[in-house]
Amino acid sequence: MTRRVMVAANWKMHTDAGSARDLASSVLAGLSDELSCEVVLFPPALFVEAVVTLVSGSQSRICSVGGQDLHHEDKGAFTGALAGPQIASTGARWVLVGHSERRHVFGDDDATVGRKLQAAVRAGLTPVLCVGEQLAERDAGESVAVVTRQLEAALDGFPVDQELVVAYEPVWAIGTGRTASPELAQEMHSALRAALGGRDVRILYGGSVKPANAAELMGQPDIDGVLVGGASLQADSFLQIIRAA
Ligand code: 13P
């Protein structure tokens, strides 16, 4: 089974109403349907609907949009939070779950991540489950154990036939300029694939992906694409990464 390469942009808490539209428009202008990869944009929640409208208007057959996080309940008194059905109602198709900034800045633990995965599925969104070890865990030789625990905890009770994408994002490589070497990333992806058993899941790499290292990373047998932070905030560099796929 060939796994279609995915190149995803996580804009995090960057852009505003105007620059989000400009960035999406510039990316869309640089895409052609001949590209074989799939492109996903994860704007801040406030701009998801505007970006969905631009993507729909562009008639691009390879680009779609997702949210960066969701609440584990479908509705209720949760001031400031966003529910899966709300995100889905904008036309978004995807949602990031368990990003390291959610885990380590906002305190999402494995149980919460698992509940959010279920909430995504209830809303008809395809989750992109992020896992990754911290530097101290890598130094202690615990990387595989940590990501396997994160994966297994999140997927407990998750339907085997439900579409899922996993993103391996070592915390020490995010926003630091310190990318995992292609060999190290491949080793981790291969361990994750083994832990996924027979599931047909794409596994993306994230952490300081740039135009200069994207092709080599995506050339590894178990790396099915990339999740890009900083380098996705400029259309030029993000388009270069797309072309490297
Ligand atoms: P950077 O590409 O800025 O390291 O961010 C990676 C990331 O966290 C994507 O989700």
pLDDT given for residue 2 in this prediction? 79
* CA 41 vs CA 96, 115, 211: distances in Å: 11, 23, 17
pLDDT on residue 4: 96
- Tell me the per-residue pLDDT of 159-190, one tens digit each, with 9 for 90 and over: 999 999 999 999 999 988 888 999 999 999 99
CA 3 to ligand 1 center in whole angstroms: 22
Residue 217: Cβ within 10 Å count = 26
Decide whether any atom of ligand 1 lies within 6 Å of the 209 Cβ: yes
Q: What is the pLDDT of residue 107?
A: 97
Minimum-distance ligand 1 atom for the alpha carbon of 96? 10
Tokens of 159: 């339907």
Closest-CA residue to 24 (of 6, 44, 2): 44
> Which residue type does 148 have?
T
- DSSP character for 71? B
Strand 6-10 to 126-131 pairing = unpaired
Q: Which two tokens stand for residue 104?
A: 């380590």
* 33 pLDDT more than 90: no
| Residue of 100, 179, 208, 233 to test ligand 1 pocket, by largest number of atoms within 8 Å of CB | 208
Residue 136 CB partners (closer than 8 Å, separation 6+): none
**Count, residues in the chain:** 245
User: Alpha helices, DSSP H only, in 198-234?
Assistant: 211-218
Residue type, 114: G
User: How far is 82 from 80, CA to CA, in rounded Å?
Assistant: 7
Alpha carbons 52 and 92: distance in angstroms, whole number: 7
What residues contact residue 87 under an 8 Å CB cut-off, 6+ apart? 45, 48, 66, 67, 70, 95, 123, 125
Supply the pLDDT for residue 1.
58
The fourth-level CATH superfamily of domain 6-244 is: Aldolase class I (3.20.20.70)
The preferred substitution site among 104, 174, 213, 238 for testing ligand 1, maximizing ligand atoms within 8 Å of CB, is: 174
227 lines ligand 1 (CB under 6 A): yes
Rounded Cα gap, residues 40 and 128, in angstroms? 11
Active-site residue list: 99, 169
Q: Is the CB of 174 under 6 A from ligand 1?
A: yes
CB atoms closer than 10 angstroms to residue 26: 14
Judged by DSSP in three states, 126 sits in: strand
Joined together, the tokens standing for residue 81 give 């939070």
Place of tokens 């050339």: 219
The ligand 1 atom nearest the CA atom of 100: 8
pLDDT in tens, 54-93: 999 998 999 999 999 999 999 999 999 999 999 999 999 9
d(CA 201, CA 67): 20
Q: For 179-238, how does the pLDDT look when each residue is reduced to its tens digit (9 = 90+)?
A: 899 999 999 999 999 999 989 999 999 999 999 999 999 999 999 999 999 999 999 999
Atom of ligand 1 nearest to the CA of 231: 2
* Residue range 241-245: mean pLDDT, rounded: 96
Q: How many CB atoms lie within 10 A of CB 67?
A: 25
Ligand 1 neighbour 132 (Cβ under 6 A): no
Give the residue whose CA is nearest to atom 7 of ligand 1.
229
